[in-house]
Structure 1
Amino acid sequence: MSEVTIRPVREDELGAVGELTINAYHADGYETSGPYALKLADARPRAEEAELLVAVDDTGAVLGTVTVAPPGSPWAQVAAPDELEFRMLAVSPAARGRGVGEALTRRVVERAEELGLRAVTLSSSQEMVAAHRLYERLGFRRTPEADWSPVPGVELVTYRLDL
């Protein structure tokens, strides 16, 4: 396995990040059309209004991405003012099994610690069981009292890691 580096997205990578995100969701069997798909495909607002991170290999190829929503970010949906939230964790289907999702998640936790926040939160589709296993292995716990539905027919589960 080549080295994986986690860093902020560069301007010239925004298109690749949007494409990777759509491809990752599609590979997992999720609908990749409609309003939410447009959000997945357009990485620029995430880079401007949150912190958009990428995982790259030693050739510079983008392997994965995550949107980090610090307090005050319009991308935060379930986080309290002293919590960091992350969204849209996506790993290229070709890069799966290489620890990319874990590296991105660990960087999110480090970022929350750097900001002096008390927890990291996230929402996830009920069907994303592989991601749930990763979160639980890293110490996140389910918070069913915070589960919610952004639109009718879409039920999201939530997780939290206290720091």
Structure 2
Amino acid sequence: MSENWCRPATINDAAVLSGLLVQLGYPDTAPFITAKLAAIGTDPAARCWVAGYDERVLGFLSLHILPQIALPGDFARISYFCIDEIARGRGVGKTLLGHAELYARELGCDRMEVHCHQRRVDAHRFYVREGFAESPKYFIKML
């Protein structure tokens, strides 16, 4: 197997990311994903990376840095993280997560969080293997 790679996402990755989002249950992102990637590209508190091996993009991770007023360190929030079903278990996710963790540490973050729906049991196992601890209670209000 070739070595995994990671790079910043560009608007040229929009179709691939839209396809990966279908695997997460978001089938209708094609009309707006280019604009979302452009917005992330200009937001100093947001990043999106793609990763894969050989020439093929097989996953992505978007990250947002959030300042904390009550604690000395900030925290990094993974907003979306998807590895192509055909590439899971090949280290692409570990590559992306390692890149995001390094970036977050460089910006002074002392923790990282991710919201992961209860139905994504395989993803939960990945996060636990990577050192995440479950933190109960997550509330959401649709606006």
Q: Per the alignment, do residues 65 and 114 of structure 1 end up closer, same or farther by CA in structure 2, a change over 3 Å counting?
A: same
Q: Which amino acid aligns with 2:140?
A: S
Correspondences of 1:14-163 after superposition (within 5 Å): 14-22=14-22, 24-25=23-24, 30=25, 32-33=26-27, 37-38=28-29, 42=33, 44-49=35-40, 50-58=46-54, 60-71=55-66, 82-145=74-137, 147-151=138-142
Q: Per the alignment, do residues 6 and 123 of structure 1 end up closer, same or farther by CA in structure 2, a change over 3 Å counting?
A: same
Query: Contact 2:5/2:51 (CA < 8 Å) preserved in 1?
Result: yes
Query: Contact 1:9/1:47 (CA < 8 Å) preserved in 2?
Result: no
**Per-residue deviation at 1:43?**
5.1
**Per-residue deviation at 1:89?**
0.7
Structure 2 counterpart of 1:161: none
TM-score by length of 2: 0.79
Q: Which range is displaced more, 41-50 or 110-119?
A: 41-50
Unaligned runs of 5+ in 1: 73-80, 152-163
Query: Contact 1:18/1:43 (CA < 8 Å) preserved in 2?
Result: no
Q: Per the alignment, do residues 62 and 150 of structure 1 end up closer, same or farther by CA in structure 2, a change over 3 Å counting?
A: farther
Structure 1 SS opposite 2:116: strand
Q: Which range is displaced more, 112-121 or 43-52?
A: 43-52
Q: Which amino acid aligns with 2:94?
A: E
**Per-residue deviation at 1:135?**
1.0
Structure 1 counterpart of 2:43: none
Residue identity (%):
28
| 1:72-124 Cα distance to aligned partner (Å, 9 max, x none) | 7xxxxxxxx81110021111122122111222122221111111111101111
